[in-house]
Amino acid sequence: MKSSLSDIKAISFDVDGTLWDFEDALARGLEAALREVRLIDPEGTEGLTVDHLDQAWMVERDRQWGTITDLVKLRHDAMRRAFADIDTPNKDLANRATDAYLEERNRNSRPFADVVPGLEALHGMYTLGTLTNGSMRPERLGLEMFFDFIVMSVEHGGIEKPDPRIFEIAVREARCEPHELLHVGDHIDYDVRGANDAGVRSVWLNRKGESSVRGVKPDLEVTSLSELADSLLGIKTQ
């Protein structure tokens, strides 16, 4: 751990995959969307799979990268693309699929078990905020009481991590210098590389025990927010 972490005044947290299990909620949401459209049009959607829905999202996201200001619309556009790809272009199906996806995803939106204890330990000692490319807000996870600022890509013209400009916005919101902000996230490129390139300190929240990436070095690697809190509080008391 670098000694510079003793200078940290604020911490920004990625949201999806860091504060809550987005991957599980995503999978459940896509399964719900698929069930919904198969009930409505079993023949027209016979060849449709979750992989099709996921691939259409990635294609549409790449197509709109840097300009995304409405993630619900993006999800709807991806659904329409998926249906067009199987020769079933149907706007109503896309609407129903999007609604089913969002309902199921939101039903499964809850923080990881370590998040509340970790935030409770850090709250009051640092200025805390969120910095996300996604659409999940802290209040939907029951975490709004912990955060002093919220930075969402969709509210800043679609500027997304790892673009240094979105980290600069977080620095301004946190009212500190870049080296005084610590960014915590699960994505080695978007979160760690992005923070490093912006002159912000970085923590890789490596929940899955993944291998590190050559050339990308976080200031700290942890497996939970509780471990992060223990590490930072240890510095505070030195």
Q: Which of 22, 19, 72, 79 is nearest to 54 (CA)?
A: 79
Which pLDDT belongs to residue 234?
83
Q: Which amino acid is at 41?
A: D
Per-residue pLDDT at 17 exceeds 50: yes
pTM: 0.90
User: What is the fold of 3-21+111-236?
Assistant: Rossmann fold (3.40.50)
Per-residue pLDDT at 148 exceeds 80: yes
Per-residue pLDDT at 81 exceeds 70: yes
Taking each helix axis from N to C end, the angle separating 22-40 and 50-64, rounded to the nearest 10 degrees, works out to 110
* Both structure tokens of 226: 């509780």
pLDDT tier, 165 (very low <50, low <70, confident <90, very high otherwise): very high
Please state the domain extents for the chain: 3-21+111-236, 23-107
* Both structure tokens of 182: 């610590």
Q: How do residues 92-145 score in pLDDT, each as one tens digit?
A: 899 999 999 999 999 999 999 999 999 999 999 999 999 999 999 999 999 999
Lowest mean pLDDT among 3-7, 48-52, 106-110, 193-197: 3-7
pLDDT tier, 237 (very low <50, low <70, confident <90, very high otherwise): low
Lowest mean pLDDT among 25-29, 62-66, 161-165: 62-66
Per-residue pLDDT at 1 exceeds 50: no
